[in-house]
Structure 1
Amino acid sequence: MNNVAEKSYFLIGKKCFFHRYCDSGFRTKWTGLWRLTRKYLEYYAIKINEEWLSPKNIQTFVEEKETVKHIYLLKDFVVEEEVFVPENEPILIIVLNVKNNSNEAKYLKIEFEIAANIRDWNEDWYERDYEITYRKNHFVVKSEKGKLAFVSSTNGNFIGYHFYKTHYPEGKLQKCFVTKNFLIEDRVNSNEEKKFSFLFACDKDEIFELEALLKNYDYLVGEKRNIYKKILEENNFVSSIDFLNDLFKIAILNLKKSIVDFDNQKVFVAGYPWFTQVWGRDSLLSIALNPFDEEACRSTFKLLANHQSEDGKIPNFILLDGSVDYNSSDATPLFPIALYSYLKRFGNVSLVLDLKDTLYKIFEFYKKNKNEDGFVYSPKNSTWMDSLEREGYCIEVQVFWQKALE
């Protein structure tokens, strides 16, 4: 498969996201199953009889709006691995369709190797330990950071032993916990297909509920498909250039995927996989340019306002644990600009009135920090080029303040 090893994908819902390479690899410290800035699943690997599903035997990769499929050609079987993240649940679902491609009945052995790595985004190595409970078709592994559950639709056996493992994706030392392997044994007739479903869940271990979600796989996929269909119908763009039409659809759906459940609030995050925090600059620029999803816009404004500094600064970013960084020279003037775009789109005057104290503090900040020419100084690393030690009276920041004052 050409260039598949260099390409990766994201499956995203409001409550978790999954990152992996198209050739089935988990290659970096950022691949795996995440809930915003916390990782849960390091990797999984599947062996069919004595063959691992891997870049060596993958034949096709298919990406749809809601799901992806990895298709593998083995000695006796064709295996389709469909992967899916629902819109409103912190879970990953894997559906294996196994077809016996031979002329005789075959013994089938499916073996799962699973590694948990429950850590925060800014961690590498840590000293935490894990506890695990095994049952006939599931396990729950947990540490002080959270818990990861695994459920199979088919009963099997946990074999071998669990252990701690260190490895170095991208040269970064990582610690993970490899569980006992999960084994399913079956028999498949010639040209017969059999389906096996599996689920991983972040911080959710009510097994009966997880089993019900696994059984309702088709409903969950249909629900997400309908959500995407409605978004595209409500945000239509038609030109004579097919490329632009397709690009617009991708952009709108990506904007939708940036809306997450952030401590029970529907807000915008900046991007996957590194920037799954609420960034003032990114979310406010997005709202200013294209106010999208009234509830997400409103909740984002309120979250940023609730964390405004005493001297009036809007946060640079907010973490799920409540930590706040204020090193942004542009988020503060972008707040009234974005609020005006929101007001024009949705007409919610009551929100503006609710935020009047926030706006007052913003303009007080401007009055206290402008020089005799009306310019505001930007400290190092505080503009959109925050990886550079850029400082001074940066031109785009002055434009933002001019626009905010209109």
Structure 2
Amino acid sequence: MKVIHSFGDETISNDIERPVSFLLTNRMGDYLSFPSSNEILSRYHGWFITLGDSFYKIIESIELVGSDSSAPPLNELKNNFTDVEHKRSGGIREHFSLHQKTHVFTYELNKRASIALCFDIRKSYDNPEMGRIYDIQEHDGLLILSYHYGSEDPLYVVIAYPDGDHSLSGEWIGRHYPFDERRNSPPFVKYVYRGVIIRGRVIVCSADTDKNAAIEAVRRAVKEKHAIISQQKDWLRESDLAPRHIQDAEIKMAYRCATHSLYGLVLARHNRKGIYAGFPWFFQFWTRDEALSLGALADERFPGAKKILLSRLEAIDDSGRMLNKVPTGDGTAADAAGWFFKRIGDHIEQFDAQERVLIADKLMKTIAKMRASREYRYLIYNSWGETWMDTTSRAGACIEIQALQLAMYDLAVRLNGGDRLRELRDNLSKRVRERFWNGETLTDELNETTNRPNAFLAAYAYPDLLNKEEWATCFENILKSLWMDWGGLATIDRENPYFTSWHTGENPKSYHSGDSWFYLNNLAALVLFRCDKKRFAKYIYRMIKASTEEILWHGAIGHHGELSSAAEFTSEGSWSQAWSNAMYIEAINELIKNPAVDITNA
């Protein structure tokens, strides 16, 4: 199958054999995703929307049906950023479009056919079997499906089919999800509702808990179809998704894709503003992920980044910690506050005098709270599950937590001055060097010799901890035990008995004990570039190459996934991960602007 990415007059393509999918977003917290195969591979494929504080699945599948009950095979998948095109055998062309700023999508064919709409309406994490009630009625040229489950308010799906006709099917069909089974993510089998078969070329769907709002959205989409398409394409052209100085065609297109993917995870609706951690299942504001992702957004193209940074400071608790998710979480993140202050420090020039006073006050209070609750002999301690490696113990004093505390002290010195703050910074720096630095590597945890890649996070957060030659020595020694030749870092020493070569899905065995995370690979490439771009050229090149290929030709095409198995380059986990996209953007911004090493041919 041929995969094409097209932006304006620039196009790249590749013939691939592996299964992939497309994923469209609309900045409303919605997504539309279908695989390249004729079968739905995951219960997370389909059309999902954000309504209030809930995330709903609406449509399971859109299926071409004929005498043999199967669609012609897919030969070509084309990503136009705002829409996707399928070319099938027999000259059939499908066009998928998810509308911006409204819960509407359009499906269009180049010729009339019979199209079955299958529904699986539910909250994303829920999987009810009994008690699901669907009802479809005709209303003024539209079909209105109402869904009831238990005592929940009904949800309405409005379907327009201009110049077409329909027949109600009303049958329950069984589905098997091989992708979910491979990920150890039950249920692998469930029943979905094939509600209607439409004979025509165009289907427009809207969903809402407000029936009239859904009707109005569909009618507007049908009436103003061409204007809406034009507006979406105009926005895409004006957004300038790739700097002109990127010459390599694949890196340039991957950069555009990563930027577009990251924008699609930004939600700015009424009282819900922030960055989703990822689709399909991280549709929450994870504080750590959000803070790291804001580095790629904190410029003139996204003025909302400053508002998010300032608003999150209100979420710091009495211990100087933040919840792992806001507004409500199921644990605390030892590093989230540090990452937010790190981001603020990186872009302090964007804040006015009054905002800097507010930041300084919040920073000093956070430092005081953290020292009172978490400090022992200058080092900062965390509990089990509070670092980003939350499936491992890592309870105690961890290297990146110390680096983030140092970054907070450094920002406090810049904002407030004062000998006491300098003393705190210098004492912690001295203590970390004494207890973590052995002349060859920075240990991952106090009194722990296991090699992990968190020294790269420490170097990114507070590069002044070591000098450049010390960092280079540290990285050379860490790479010996973590480097995977395909172009990634394992999350634990390859010789460690807990090292797991292959991704284990929802079983967390491999998650932080083998799996290679794309966000961290991109960050490591950037850190190595800053340290010694020539000495580490091979590693920089291979990590950027792997990430570029993953964005363009693996998983959900045009999106940067969560991670890879350690043993072999794969696309696993979340299909579109905010911090993976963001760190790729940040790395390319710096690597391309300072091309002392050719990252396209090392």
> CA–CA distance in 1 between the matches of 2:115 and 2:334?
52
Q: Is 1:46 aligned to residue 60 of structure 2? A: no
The within-5 A match list for 1:298-317 is 298-317=306-325
- Give the drift of 1:179: 4.5
SS in 2 for 1:363: helix
- Give the drift of 1:259: 0.9
TM-score with structure 2 setting the length: 0.57
Q: Is the Cα contact below 8 Å between 2:135 and 2:147 reproduced in 1? A: yes
Match of 1:72 among 88, 104, 108: 88
SS in 2 for 1:312: coil
Which residue does the alignment assign to 2:535? none
Which residue does the alignment assign to 1:278? 285
1:331-364 deviation per Cα after TM superposition (whole angstroms, max 9, x unaligned): 02112122233432x3344444455664344222
- Give the drift of 1:400: 0.9
1:39-90 deviation per Cα after TM superposition (whole angstroms, max 9, x unaligned): 3224223335425563x5223221112111112234xxx3211001122112
- Structure 2 residues without counterparts, runs of 5 or longer: 2-14, 411-602
TM-score with structure 1 setting the length: 0.81
Q: Is the Cα contact below 8 Å between 1:46 and 1:111 reproduced in 2? A: yes
Match of 1:132 among 118, 121, 135: 135
The within-5 A match list for 1:81-160 is 81-98=94-111, 110-121=114-125, 123-125=126-128, 127-135=130-138, 136-143=141-148, 144=152, 147-154=155-162, 155-160=164-169
Q: Is 1:7 aligned to residue 20 of structure 2? A: yes
The within-5 A match list for 1:122-271 is 123-125=126-128, 127-135=130-138, 136-143=141-148, 144=152, 147-154=155-162, 155-163=164-172, 167-169=175-177, 170-171=180-181, 172-173=186-187, 175=190, 177-184=192-199, 195-203=201-209, 205-206=211-212, 207-232=215-240, 236-261=243-268, 264-271=271-278
Q: Is 1:389 aligned to residue 393 of structure 2? A: yes
- Give the drift of 1:376: 1.3
Q: Is the Cα contact below 8 Å between 2:288 and 2:336 reproduced in 1? A: yes
Amino acid at match of 2:258: A
- Give the drift of 1:277: 0.9
Aligned CA distance change for structure 1 residues 35 and 296 (closer, same or farther; 3 Å): farther
Write 1 or 2 for the structure with the bigger share of helix: 2
> CA–CA distance in 2 between the matches of 1:391 and 1:271?
26
> CA–CA distance in 2 between the matches of 1:253 and 1:79?
28
Identity of aligned residues (%): 13
- Give the drift of 1:161: 2.7
Q: Is 1:60 aligned to residue 64 of structure 2? A: no
Q: Is the Cα contact below 8 Å between 1:268 and 1:296 reproduced in 2? A: no
Write 1 or 2 for the structure with the bigger share of strand: 1
> CA–CA distance in 2 between the matches of 1:184 and 1:265?
39
> CA–CA distance in 1 between the matches of 2:229 and 2:17?
25
> CA–CA distance in 2 between the matches of 1:283 and 1:95?
35
Amino acid at match of 1:362: T
Aligned CA distance change for structure 1 residues 349 and 23 (closer, same or farther; 3 Å): farther
Match of 1:35 among 34, 49, 55: 49
> CA–CA distance in 2 between the matches of 1:361 and 1:240?
46
Which residue does the alignment assign to 2:407? 403
> CA–CA distance in 2 between the matches of 1:369 and 1:310?
9
Q: Is the Cα contact below 8 Å between 2:82 and 2:97 reproduced in 1? A: yes
> CA–CA distance in 1 between the matches of 2:408 and 2:274?
22
Q: Is the Cα contact below 8 Å between 2:323 and 2:333 reproduced in 1? A: yes
Q: Is 1:26 aligned to residue 40 of structure 2? A: yes
What is the alpha-carbon root mean square deviation over aligned residues? 2.9
Aligned CA distance change for structure 1 residues 145 and 381 (closer, same or farther; 3 Å): farther
Match of 1:347 among 348, 351, 360: 351
Amino acid at match of 1:45: I
> CA–CA distance in 1 between the matches of 2:206 and 2:191?
16
Amino acid at match of 1:21: P
SS in 2 for 1:323: coil
1:173-216 deviation per Cα after TM superposition (whole angstroms, max 9, x unaligned): 2655515323337xxxxxxxxx4233243545331331221332
